[in-house]
Structure 1
Amino acid sequence: MTRDVPTDTDRLSALPRPQPRKKKLSREEKAQLTLRNLLEAAAAIVGEHGYAATTIANVTREAGVAHGTFYNYFEDRQALFDVLLPYVGERMTDYITASLAGVGGGLEREVARFRAYCGYLRVNPGFYRILYEAEVFAPKAFDAHIERLTEGYVRAFRRAIAAGDCYEMGDEELRAIAGILLGARAYVAMQFKDTGVIPETAIAAYESLMKQGLFKAK
């Protein structure tokens, strides 16, 4: 019986292939990654247990960093709370903006914006607690978040006015309308926070209100 003798090529092909070397992170990149991990950990803990129950120890444990590392980024727990909502809020608006790609203007865009907000809450239910408890535990962050959303709405309205999709309004009226819409979408969403699913009927009601108004003209 003839035995097959492995060739040099066979022997080489049997060797484990070298894995591509991972890019070594710079010091700045490592610092940014650690900061993001701390914020993500805080978002998870506050979203589930609230601000009062969130400690530096459980944030660093969740983030997988040493307790002392926390102080390279934040002076104390309050300093973390003061940036948490703006961080999470920016992720929310990024999600909504991405969802609006290819959507038209005016009413269609506003309804799509509300639907995207509902979608974000479905996959990030902890956002409710981070937002509403911030008014007590991180009021500066809460005010900054609301102001950023208001200014974003005002800019969107101005574009809609320029495109002929919205009635002419001054800045004060635009800010008032922005507040009304932010409140409407927040409180509609809160009605369904236990299930995490905002039904299409609620979105349709929002669309109807935006399209037709609430009261009939006499």
Structure 2
Amino acid sequence: MRSRESKGDILDTIVNLPKTKRGQKTLNKILKAAEELFYEKGYHSTSIIDITNKSNIALGTFYIYFKDKFNLYKYLLLIYSHEIRKAVAEKITESDSRYDKEKIGLYAFLNYMRVNKHVYNILWESLYIDKNIFVDYYESFSLRYIEGLRKSQQTGEVSEVDLTVLSYVLMGISNFIGLKYVMFENAEDVDFEAVVDSVMDILENGMFNK
């Protein structure tokens, strides 16, 4: 698992971030074990003892970082949100047009999900753990999305449509295209470029004949 380091005041309420490399290594072991167990067994069927046994740490060590399993789960979702945004942002940095940002961003999202299929399972289970987490996850994505869409709308590239609706339309496309071609199909056999081209053709030309 990649090094899990994040910043922000919100983290203070859910995780005690380590100050040493040794502490970060221990935290990463906890996160990796929890991630695998949540994916394999689900949140409710996974206990803190399961996590500490799998990560080969003492029970007390767990509580150095998290006060409970729920906060550990919330921290994982924050990590996924950060990683997805980073994966997309790194690819669209040099893109000038909204069209290119959407095309390259969707391709980056699909590739992230290709190697992180577990994210779908763990994220969507949040709807049955605490609906507020599920809502907050997508609402935060929407708000950030709207910022970029508004700039493109101001330049005239994006039409005068409701940006909240548009952000959810675009997120919905990404989510369900990902489900189809990453979860339902063998992602290694899928031509993501062709899939993305089809999506962009629909976005650019619409679904209705004029």
Larger helix percent: 2
Structure 2: how far apart are the matches of 1:69 and 1:31? Answer: 10
2:86 is paired with a residue of what secondary structure? helix
In the alignment, structure 1 residue 65 sits paired with structure 2 residue 57: yes
Q: Structure 1 residue 48: deviation in Å? A: 3.5
The worse-fitting range, judged by mean Cα deviation, of 205-214 and 136-145 is: 136-145
2:66 is paired with a residue of what secondary structure? coil
Which residue matches 1:216? 209
In the alignment, structure 1 residue 123 sits paired with structure 2 residue 134: no
Structure 2 counterpart of 1:196, which letter? Answer: A
Structure 2 matches for 1:116-155, cutoff 5 A? 116-155=108-147
The 1:109–1:67 alpha-carbon spacing in structure 2 relative to 1, beyond 3 Å, is: same
Structure 2 matches for 1:1-218, cutoff 5 A? 28-29=19-20, 30-169=22-161, 173-192=162-181, 193-194=183-184, 195-197=186-188, 198-199=190-191, 200-217=193-210
The 1:163–1:38 alpha-carbon spacing in structure 2 relative to 1, beyond 3 Å, is: farther
Structure 1: how far apart are the matches of 2:101 and 2:61? Answer: 43
The worse-fitting range, judged by mean Cα deviation, of 75-84 and 174-183 is: 75-84
Contact 1:85/1:142 (<8 A) preserved: no
The worse-fitting range, judged by mean Cα deviation, of 76-85 and 105-114 is: 76-85
- Stretches of structure 2 that go unaligned for 5 or more consecutive residues are 1-17
Structure 1 counterpart of 2:174, which letter? Answer: R
Structure 2 counterpart of 1:206, which letter? Answer: V
The 1:91–1:37 alpha-carbon spacing in structure 2 relative to 1, beyond 3 Å, is: farther
1:53 is paired with a residue of what secondary structure? coil
Larger radius of gyration: 1
The worse-fitting range, judged by mean Cα deviation, of 151-160 and 189-198 is: 189-198
What's the CA shift string for 1:157-191, capped at 9, x where partnerless? 0121233321234xxx1111111111121111111
**What is the percent sequence identity of the aligned residues?**
24
What's the CA shift string for 1:40-89, capped at 9, x where partnerless? 33223223332233221232234342221112222222222233212222
Q: How many correspondences in the alignment?
A: 188
- Stretches of structure 1 that go unaligned for 5 or more consecutive residues are 1-26
The 1:116–1:74 alpha-carbon spacing in structure 2 relative to 1, beyond 3 Å, is: same
The 1:113–1:92 alpha-carbon spacing in structure 2 relative to 1, beyond 3 Å, is: same
What is the RMSD of the two structures over their aligned residues, measured on CA atoms? 2.1
Structure 2: how far apart are the matches of 1:133 and 1:85? Answer: 11
Structure 1: how far apart are the matches of 2:163 and 2:27? Answer: 36
